[in-house]
Amino acid sequence: MPETRNVLAVIAPRVGGRSAAAPLAALFEGRAEITVVEAAEEDPAALARAHVLITALGAVTEEHLAAAPRLELIQCAGHGHDTVDVAAAHRRGVTVCTIGSSGAEAGTVAEQTFALMLALAKRLVPAHLALTRGDWALPRLQQSLTELSGKTLGIVGLGAIGREVARRAAAFDMTVRYAGPRPAPAEVERRLGVSRADLDDLLRESDYVSLHAPLDGTTRHLLDARRLALLKPTAFVINTARGALIDQEALAEALETGRIAGAGIDVFDPEPPGADLRLLRAPGVVLSPHVGGVTRETLVRIALAAVGNVLDHLAGKPPRDVVEARPGA
């Protein structure tokens, strides 16, 4: 009799006291060859029987990998893979995959990106707060309101999400530049109407800079104090990717001193942020609690994409969206 191939869902955090593994487990129902095992991310010993691990923002460390001698595949239920020790997985011959090509949350994150951009351009938060205090703030705000039309949007990372952002930017009559480790196919550039730039040049030229790069050792603090200083004083920074792509202290300093006009931030390092995070009290910010990819619709698409890749792997098909080892990652 062939050995049972187990799927272990390591999903964190628990939501409302309920395990997020249950919806994923339900998608395997009726497949007798698969046993779904629930385990908390802090209990690596429970990994001993697993051939496949599904993680949604749960950490997968070298200790977890050492406790999982049968592990073949780590499937991230999302576009990111920064919670997984990819280098350690590769050393053990374990494949790591995301759901990047599925586009499961790309459109939703692109919508959140533009929600933040519009909130900054139209000063929606200070306008709302002023009105709730009985303050008709029009005379004070009107000189700082801006348009997206005619502005340059710099996209850092033209993957599935970055491309959705670029596609929407065309509807706002924005000029779009992008930066990344390699150029997009010429057909993609033509279809989206985008052009590639060196990152430093992109920062100098852009009115809005939107981050959509993966987080690894090569991109941590990609926007540090030096690069933030390249931005125009009228520029806005948007981050719906990973908090550690930006040096948060340097960003707070740039906002407090007026070196940039504002920032829309959906992600933090760590999450949730501590109450003492300087960025929470910086001027010109619009903040949201990592909700960019979370809607009723995307949660279903993400789960289906992750489980589909796992089932393909267990059926002997090549997995999609394999994460490559990178220097410094």
Which of 64, 242, 301, 313 is labelled catalytic? 242
Q: 322 lies in a domain?
A: no
Which of 5, 220, 290, 320 is labelled catalytic? 290
3-state secondary structure the chain: CCCCEEEEEEECCCECCECCHHHHHHHCCCCCCEEEEECCCCCHHHHHHEEEEEEECCCECHHHHHCCCCCCEEEECCCCCCCECHHHHHHCCCEEECCHHHCCCHHHHHHHHHHHHHHHHCCHHHHHHHHHCCCCCHHHHCCCCCCCCCCEEEEECCCHHHHHHHHHHHHCCCEEEEECCCCCCHHHHHHHCEEECCHHHHHHHCCEEEECCCCCCCCCCCECHHHHCCCCCCCEEEECCCHHHECHHHHHHHHHCCCCCEEEECCCCCCCCCCCCHHHHCCCEEECCCCCCCCHHHHHHHHHHHHHHHHHHHCCCCCCCECCCCCCC
Both 138 and 275 in a single domain?
Answer: yes
Q: Does residue 31 carry a pLDDT above 80?
A: no
Both 43 and 151 in a single domain?
Answer: no
Q: 328 lies in a domain?
A: no
Both 56 and 202 in a single domain?
Answer: no
Both 126 and 202 in a single domain?
Answer: yes
Both 10 and 70 in a single domain?
Answer: yes
Both 205 and 259 in a single domain?
Answer: yes
Which of 33, 42, 271, 297 is labelled catalytic? 271
Q: What is the CATH number of the domain that holds 17?
A: 3.40.50.720
Q: Is residue 242 flagged as an active site residue?
A: yes
Q: Is residue 290 flagged as an active site residue?
A: yes
Q: 16 lies in a domain?
A: yes
Domain of residue 149, residue span: 106-287
Q: Does residue 15 carry a pLDDT above 90?
A: no
Question: What's the pTM value of the predicted model, to 2 decimals?
Answer: 0.84
**Residue-level pLDDT at 281:** 97
Q: Is residue 51 flagged as an active site residue?
A: no
Both 41 and 113 in a single domain?
Answer: no
Both 78 and 139 in a single domain?
Answer: no
The 10s digit of each residue's pLDDT in 258-273 is 999 999 999 999 999 9
Q: 135 lies in a domain?
A: yes
